[in-house]
Structure 1
Amino acid sequence: MDTLKRFDRILRLYFLLQSRASVSIQDLQQIFGTSKRTIYRDIKSLELAGIPILSNNGSFGILEGYRIHASRFTDEEMLSLLVAEKMMKQHQTNFIRQQFDSLLVKVKSSFQYQQKVAFDELEDKLHIMPDTKATSYLPTIINTILESVSERSILQIDYLKVGNMAKQTREMEPVGIFFERGFWYVLAFCLTRLAYRNFRLDRIKRVKITDIPFTRKHQSIQILRSTLAEVPTVDIVIESDKEFSHFLSFERDTYGFYKEEITSDHARMYFKCAAHPTAFVRWFLRFIDIADILEPEALNDELREIVRNGFKKLTSSR
């Protein structure tokens, strides 16, 4: 039984090494749950079997050109495979997830060397949140955006903001793509705002890769999203008359709007506001006749104070 287990492990190791450009000894330990000594022994067994193993600073790979079968995958096929891999990692059934991992390793083992490198580079450009459903729609412009990321060429888009029918032309340096709350987004450094912004892909009406190179180097999408998420926010809930709710849509994204619930009479809007709460209150002041702040109550106290001070100033100036 131990011999069979070792044979299976060595076979998996072979497929794994053939599926990537290189794998570190630490990753191999984590994948197989064994010691460094065991990994080195299994690699030695592959070498004795005539498989050309390359070693570089604690990472291992198989000599380019040595493979069971060389298949040429299109960029679209590789992207679909990456999306499937990330989605299957969230599968609720361990057995299915593990079997898919085993199958994927065998498929990736047939990649040509440059395909392995390209697949590894795409790995940190696509981020899928745990609530992603397999039936979620993947916009076709995702290929163009990832091409912009890989080539480090500035992307030009026509973007349609909520509540604004006029398209805005933006130039950006995309970092990567992620899926959240039912929508695909691109996280990019906006050259108009000179700051990182999220853009919903279904609101991008035109996309074009320019010949202009990126102006700066960007961290991975996971690191940037984690860093940006560390900015303290205030959870705010407001409710407006449904008839007039469209008036609030023009600038609400500035204050962290992320969700809206519509009933027969009202529109309830949810915010994660990174701006100072006073800035939100002063924006909301324009809508006090058609909307209410439901949470937090402290904002209503501030709203009343602003209104009282304003009223005193108006009456005292007469």
Structure 2
Amino acid sequence: MNRLDRLTAILIHLQTRRVVRAQELASRFGISLRTVYRDVRSLEEAGVPIGAEAGVGYFLTDYHLPPVMFTNAEASALMMGGKLIEKWTDESVQTEFESALFKIKSVLKRPDQEHLDDLDAHINVAKPPYRKPHATGLLNSLQHAIARRHVLAIHYHSHYNDTETQREVEPVGLYHTHMAWHLIGYCRTRQDYRDFRVDRIRQLTDTKQSFSRRDRLSLQEYLDRVGRNDMPVTDVVLVFQKSVVRHLQEQKYSFGFQDEEDLGDRIRMRFQTPWVEGIARWLLMFGKEVTIEEPESLQSRMQTLVEALRDHYAEKVSS
């Protein structure tokens, strides 16, 4: 990126945030703090009213850029993002993004508009494996509540014990993992932080009641805490025949995959999982093509599951 483009990008960045730290600009553009200071000084000399507060950052005092023109690559990236939004969010977000994309297209040059039209039919994203109808339209409401710090009243279905409960939740953030959106929040009912699958929220009401964010973890702090202290993990060592390794695909990461070692016609894989029962049931599908080296507790659990399965089908045959 040449200096002129970088100065323009810094100005756009300043306009999108209330306060921007120098280190944030240095990290984004891959430059030194000294270069950031020099670039900001150049913008000031060009007449851009930039304020600064020691230890806080830079901010624009009263300045707005004219409508921004998008490059061909930027427009293409937005269109690709729209494909993901179409399949992996709900109608509330899809509708708003579609409206925004039309506005973006309206300011593009004619060749860039034609480029997007040509590209549109050649990019697609697979639908998620399921979509619950009761989850439709919640993501936008959740975003508003998070930004405004509003307490939510939710009617929630707990999958693990198949019960439905009423909760008051202080929303911390939204997190997408394992093909689903999750609302992370402080549950006033349980007096602790909880992870709520959005597709299991039966009903959502914004109470308009505000809460203080200073007393709550940020989303990243919650995720860091869960990563460290969620549950004790068990080290698992498995040896797979290479003929079945291609069937593991992305599933192995759901069970805490760490690394692997090539043994010729086999592959030794190491996992760290808090859910030994889950990995045991997953391994049933691989039959004799997988060998459990560690731990013994997993070997014992597999024997129990296999014996129960054998007895089940033996009863079917005898009847």
- What TM-score results when the alignment is normalised by the length of structure 1? 0.51
Match of residue 60 from structure 2: 62
Question: Any gaps of 5 or more consecutive residues in structure 1?
Answer: 71-80, 89-106, 108-132, 238-257, 260-270, 281-293, 303-318
Q: In structure 1, which of residues 195, 198, 217 is the aligned counterpart of residue 195 of structure 2?
A: 198
**How big is each residue's C-alpha offset from its partner over 1:236-267, in whole Å with a ceiling of 9 and x where there is no partner?**
99xxxxxxxxxxxxxxxxxxxx88xxxxxxxx
* Kept after mapping to 2: 8 A contact 1:157/1:171: yes
Root mean square deviation, CA, Å: 4.1
Q: 1:164 to 1:31 in 2, by over 3 A?
A: closer
* Kept after mapping to 2: 8 A contact 1:236/1:273: no
- SS of the aligned residue for 2:52 comes to strand
Match of residue 44 from structure 1: 41
Rounded to whole Å, the distance in 1 between the matches of 2:34 and 2:211 is: 44
Alpha-carbon offset, residue 141 of structure 1: 0.8
**Superposed counterparts of 1:55-204, under 5 Å:** 55-57=52-54, 59-69=57-67, 84=81, 139-162=136-159, 167-204=164-201
Are residues 1:9 and 2:6 paired?
A: yes
Rounded to whole Å, the distance in 1 between the matches of 2:296 and 2:176 is: 32
Q: 1:296 to 1:194 in 2, by over 3 A?
A: farther
Aligned-pair identity in percent equals: 31
Are residues 1:297 and 2:296 paired?
A: yes
Number of aligned pairs? 199
* Kept after mapping to 2: 8 A contact 1:183/1:200: yes
Q: 1:163 to 1:153 in 2, by over 3 A?
A: same
Q: 1:30 to 1:152 in 2, by over 3 A?
A: closer
- Kindly provide the amino acid, as one letter, of the partner of residue 26 in structure 1: Q
Alpha-carbon offset, residue 166 of structure 1: 5.3
- Kindly provide the amino acid, as one letter, of the partner of residue 59 in structure 2: G
- What TM-score results when the alignment is normalised by the length of structure 2? 0.51
Are residues 1:220 and 2:188 paired?
A: no
Deviates more, 1:196-205 or 1:143-152: 143-152
Are residues 1:233 and 2:232 paired?
A: yes
- SS of the aligned residue for 1:50 comes to coil
**How big is each residue's C-alpha offset from its partner over 1:74-114, in whole Å with a ceiling of 9 and x where there is no partner?**
xxxxxxx8x959x89xxxxxxxxxxxxxxxxxx9xxxxxxx
- SS of the aligned residue for 1:160 comes to strand
Rounded to whole Å, the distance in 1 between the matches of 2:62 and 2:204 is: 36
Alpha-carbon offset, residue 144 of structure 1: 1.8
**How big is each residue's C-alpha offset from its partner over 1:260-317, in whole Å with a ceiling of 9 and x where there is no partner?**
xxxxxxxxxxx9548xx9xx9xxxxxxxxxxxxx985327879xxxxxxxxxxxxxxx
